[in-house]
Amino acid sequence: MNSLISIVGAGPGDPELLTIKALKRIQEADCILHDALVSEEILNLAKPEAQRIYVGKIYQDGQDQTDRQDWINQLIIELAAKGQKVVRLKSGDPMIFGRGAEEIRFCIENGLHYEAIPGVTSALGAASLYGIPLTERGKNSMVLFGTGHYCEGDFCDLQTFVSVLKSGSPIIFFMGLNKLVKLAQRLIDLEVSPEIKVQILSKVSQPDSSALEGTLGTIAQILETEKPAMPALVIIGENIERLSR
Angstrom distance (rounded) from CA 142 to CA 46: 38
Write b or e for each residue in 84-117: b if 16 or more Cβ atoms lie within 10 A of its Cβ, otherwise e.
bbbbbbbbbbbbbbbbbeebbebbeeeebebebb
Q: Is the peptide bond before 48 cis (omega within 30 degrees of 0)?
A: no
Angstrom distance (rounded) from CA 156 to CA 177: 15
Kindly name the residue from 24, 57, 179, 182 that is annotated as catalytic: 57
Q: Clarify whether 57 is annotated catalytic.
A: yes
Q: Clarify whether 90 is annotated catalytic.
A: no
CA geometry: angle at 32 spanning 115 and 95, to 5°?
45
- Taking the CA of residue 205 as centre, how many other CA atoms within 13 Å lie in the half-sphere pointing to its CB? 25
The sign of the torsion formed by the CA atoms of 192, 193, 194, 200 equals negative
Residue 183 and residue 176 in contact, taking contact as beta carbons nearer than 8 Å = yes
Kindly name the residue from 35, 90, 93, 203 that is annotated as catalytic: 35
Active site positions, annotated: 35, 57
